[in-house]
Structures are given as C-alpha cells and as structure tokens.
Amino acid sequence: MPELPEVETVVSSLIKGGIEKSLITDVKIIYSKCIDAPDFSDFSKLILNKKILKISRRGKYIIFSLSEGYFMLVHLKMTGRLTITDISKKEIKHEHIRFELDKKIILSFIDTRKFGKIFLTKNLNSKLEKLGPEPIDPHLDFNQIFSKILKSKKKIKALLLDQSILSGLGNIYADETLWEAKINPNKISLSLTLKEMKALLDSAKKVLLRGIKNKGTSLGRNAFNFADIYNHFGENQNFLNVYKQEKKPCKRCNSVITKEKIAQRSSYFCPSCQR
C-alpha cells in the first residue's frame, strides 16, 4: 500500500516515537521469508546489539542506519506495517518479526499479504542505486527526467510507476499527478511537450507533499490499509481528486471519471480534461 507519503509518515512517526538512538536488544523472527538477505539465522545474529542511529527514507524504502556500518532496509510493499507496542503485548495477527528495543519496547513488522521485505546490508547502494530521484527534492534536476521521458515509448502512467525514473510514486499518486497535470495516462511519454513535462513534475511534487501533510492515504480502516506505527490512519483519502472516483464528476470540468486498466493497474482519469 504505502507510497512515498505513507513511507514518509511511518518514518516521521518512528522518529517522533523516539526510536532513534535505541538499541536492538532482541529479535524474534516468526516468518523467516520476509528477510530478504542475509539468511535469517545470520540476520538474527547480526542485528543483535546494533544501535539505531538514524531512520530515513529513500523512495519507498525505510532506512535504519545502524551501528558498525550496517543498514536495515524495510520495504512495506502492499500491506506491510511497522508498529510500536509494549513489551507485554502478545503476538499480533500476521506479525512476522518483532524487535525488542532497549529491553522495553517492541517494534513489529506486520504484513497480511507477506510481500514486504527486510534486509540487512553494509552496502546501502546495492538496493538504492537503481532508484530515480526524489520528486519532492528541491534540487530535483528536471532536465534529467525530461530526457528520460523523451526517450520512452511507454505510456506515461507506466513511466510514472517505474521507480528507476522517479522514485516514490505508486498507483494512487500517479493517477493524482496525471489529473493535476491534465495529462491522459495513455499518452505516450515521448509525445509530451515541455510544458506538460514541467506540469507533471510540479504536480507530482504537489500531490506527494499534500499526501505527506495529510499523513498518508488510508482507503479503509482494516489491516489492509495504511496506518502509522501507532495505528493512526491517514487523512489523504479525503483529498483525492481521481483515484477511486470512478463515475463521479470531475472536480475540474464535471465530466465523468473513468476507470481503465493501464500498465496492469486500475487507472482513474478524466477523459475530458486530461489530454
């Protein structure tokens, strides 16, 4: 589920919750397949007694910078969650890993669909180097993205979902970005004008920052939906202009929002004002 704003919300709730500077005093692996690398027995040995120095985000990855030069990366994929609970709390449904911090707090990784992955490495670049730039970076190099767009014959929607071009957009924010920029998701990337490409990047930044401000998009209230580490839901679902707005009137031109499968994903757009 989580896209850039949701991951950012999780990271800030971890920081706000004082998880930085804590020591990993114990780990319990319940579902070992959620450890990507190294193998889970090495993982449990290596993670022990590491201090969490810093928590940050790159694309949709959560980065725990640990002592001794290690990094633990967490990708929540569709339904992954991190939750903080008391040490006395018993195992939660779909809980796959629990870290004991400072012998008093439990940081749990919970994931209904089990797509989420955690891995531990000394080489942060190995996973992150493939990622395109951050759309909300104030120093974002527009021309670098423009040249990539102009080299691709893919539909622009597919390109927005490609993390190696721009990192952090997923299905919801890609549709919101295209609506904001008035671009049809089926449009072939290299046919975009300079003006459209600029609108696209400005819109991506706008919808992502709005998502962060609203603490993420939680479409429903169950375990499938996004929540921060205290199980607080986001509010951005109340600010969506097209995603899941099928058959509703476009907020800009009043035409009917349509739904279509593009790049194997449900895509919502206004056929009238998105050209």
CB atoms within 10 A of CB 130: 11
Supply the minimum distance, in Å, between the C-beta of residue 65 and DNA. Answer: 20
What is the C-alpha separation between 217 and 1, in angstroms, rounded? Answer: 9
Size of the site for DNA (CB under 7 A): 39
Q: What are the backbone angles phi and psi of residue 70, rounded to the nearest 5°? A: -95, 155
Choose, by CB under 7 A, the member of 21, 220, 231, 255 that binds DNA: 220
Supply the minimum distance, in Å, between the C-beta of residue 220 and DNA. Answer: 6
Catalytic residues: 2-3, 60, 265
- Residue 197 contacts DNA per CB under 7 A: no
C-beta of 25 vs 241, nearer to DNA: 241
- Quick one: which segment of 18-26, 50-58, 138-146, 262-270 binds DNA (CB under 7 A)? 262-270
- Residue 154 contacts DNA per CB under 7 A: yes
- Quick one: which segment of 14-22, 36-44, 191-199, 222-230 binds DNA (CB under 7 A)? 222-230
What is the C-alpha separation between 76 and 57, in angstroms, rounded? Answer: 12
C-beta of 99 vs 226, nearer to DNA: 226
- Quick one: which segment of 46-54, 81-89, 198-206, 259-267 binds DNA (CB under 7 A)? 259-267
Supply the minimum distance, in Å, between the C-beta of residue 22 and DNA. Answer: 27
What is the C-alpha separation between 73 and 71, in angstroms, rounded? Answer: 6
Choose, by CB under 7 A, the member of 223, 239, 252, 271 that binds DNA: 223
- Residue 265 contacts DNA per CB under 7 A: yes
- Quick one: which segment of 15-23, 100-108, 147-155, 197-205 binds DNA (CB under 7 A)? 147-155
Contact residues for DNA, defined by CB under 7 A: 1-3, 6, 33, 59-60, 75, 77-78, 94, 112-115, 130, 152-155, 158, 161, 163, 170-172, 217-220, 222-226, 263-266
